[in-house]
Each structure stands twice: as C-alpha cells, then as structure tokens.
C-alpha cells in the first residue's frame, strides 16, 4: 500500500486532466529530479525520495506515492503540498 493516497474530482475531462497532471510532472522533475513517463492515462514517476503514479480519469485524479525512509518523517507535509497543488491546478 502507498504511503500517500489522494483522490480529487475535477471537471476538466480526460485531456485537460492529463495536461494538469503534466504540469505536476514538470514541477516534480524541476524541484526533485523525479523522472516520469505516461503509461496510457497513468503518469508513473520515480526519483530519489519518492515514487508512485497519478491516474487520470475524465472526472477524477488518483495519486499514490511511496516515500523513501528519508522522506517518511515529512509524510504529512508532502501530502498537504500534493493536495494543495492538485486543488489549485485541477480547478483553475
């Protein structure tokens, strides 16, 4: 089971939902050196501190994140930042 699980509904549709998630991927890459790739409608990411996936549906996004031992103590902060970022970008 993932360390962090987040589900957010949205009204962007599949294509715009994927575009919003692509912005998340660029931020993760720029700030954390995380690499990502699409597998159908799921963005899989992997980096030194975290790995997981973001599944995009026409009306929802599901995020699963596994944290390294180093980031475990910051689990609450990582989850809050992920929720905030999703809330801002899925409803803009």
Q: What is the mean pLDDT of residues 51-78?
A: 93
In the structure encoding, which two tokens stand for residue 67, read together?
A: 């944290």
Answer whether residue 38 shows pLDDT above 90.
yes
Mean pLDDT of the chain: 89
The confidence score (pLDDT) of residue 17 equals 92
Query: For residue 64, what pLDDT band results from cuts at 50, 70 and 90?
Result: very high
Assess whether pLDDT exceeds 90 at residue 59: yes
Residue 10 lies in a domain: yes
Range of the domain at 60: 4-86
Assess if residue 73 is contained within a domain: yes
Indicate whether 22 belongs to any domain.
yes
Q: What is the pTM of this model?
A: 0.88
CA dist 68 to 3, 24, 52, Å?
10, 19, 11
Structural domain count, the chain:
1
Residue 92, pLDDT > 80, answer no
Task: Evaluate whether residue 79 is within a structural domain.
Answer: yes
Apex 80 CA angle, 78 and 83, nearest 5: 110
Is residue 77, in this structure, part of any structural domain at all? yes
- Residue 91 in domain: no
Here the CATH number for the domain that contains residue 12 is 3.30.310.50
Say if residue 45's pLDDT is above 70: yes
- In-domain check, residue 28: yes
């Amino acid at each position: 089971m993932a360390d962090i699980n987040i589900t957010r509904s949205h009204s962007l549709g599949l294509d715009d939902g994927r575009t919003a998630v692509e912005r998340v991927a660029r931020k993760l890459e720029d700030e954390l050196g995380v690499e990502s790739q699409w597998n159908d409608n799921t963005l899989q990411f992997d980096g030194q501190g975290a790995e997981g996936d973001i599944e995009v549906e026409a009306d929802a996004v599901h995020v699963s994140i596994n944290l390294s031992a180093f980031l475990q103590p910051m689990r609450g902060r990582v989850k809050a930042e992920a929720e905030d970022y999703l809330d801002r970008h899925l409803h803009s």
